Amino acid sequence: MKRVVILAGTILFLGCVGAQAQEDIGKNEYAAACAVCHGESGKGNGPFSRLMNISVPSLTTLSSQNEGNFPFLEVFMTVDGRTQVEGHGSPMPVWGERFSVAAADDYGPYGSELMVRGRILSLVTYVESIQE
C-alpha cells in the first residue's frame, strides 16, 4: 500500500515538473532540511554535526553500503519518518510530519499528503544523485 501511495504521488509530481526541475527542488529541499547536519556535500560534516551526541552519517555512501544499490524506499521512509516505530524517538527529524503541517492549510488533507510525498521524493532523488 505504501508503494502505491508513493507511486501515485510520484506520477502526479513528475507530471507537474520536469526532471531537471525535480533535481533542483530536491537540491533546495536538501539545502533547507538536511545540509545543516549532513553538510552541503552530504558527508555528515554539517555545522550542527559537531553539536550532536551521535555520529551524523554520510549520505554519499548509501549505495556502496548496499552492494551498489541505492536503498530508495528505505531512505524515503527514513526521511518521511511517520511510519517508523521507535521506542524512544529517532535521531532523524520526522520531515513528513513537518512538511505536512506546512502544507495542510494550503492543500487540504489529500493534497497536502501529495505535496509531502513530492517534496520527499525530490529530496531522496537528489540524495541518490550524490552517491559516490
Rg (CA), the chain: 15
Band (pLDDT 50/70/90 cuts) for residue 15 is: low
2: CB partners within 8 A, 6+ apart: 77, 83
Please report, in angstroms and rounded to a whole number, the separation of the first and last CA atoms in the chain. Answer: 31
User: Rounded to two decimals, what is the model's pTM?
Assistant: 0.78
Instruction: Name the grid cell of 65.
Output: 553500503
CA 51-73-98 angle, to 5 degrees, is 50
Cell, residue 59: 549520505
pLDDT at residue 96 greater than cutoff 70 = yes
Query: pLDDT of 119-131, one tens digit each?
Result: 999 999 999 999 9
Assess whether pLDDT exceeds 60 at residue 88: no
Nearest to 126 by CA among 59, 37, 44, 36: 59
pLDDT tens per residue across span 25-68: 999 999 999 999 999 999 999 999 999 888 999 999 999 999 99
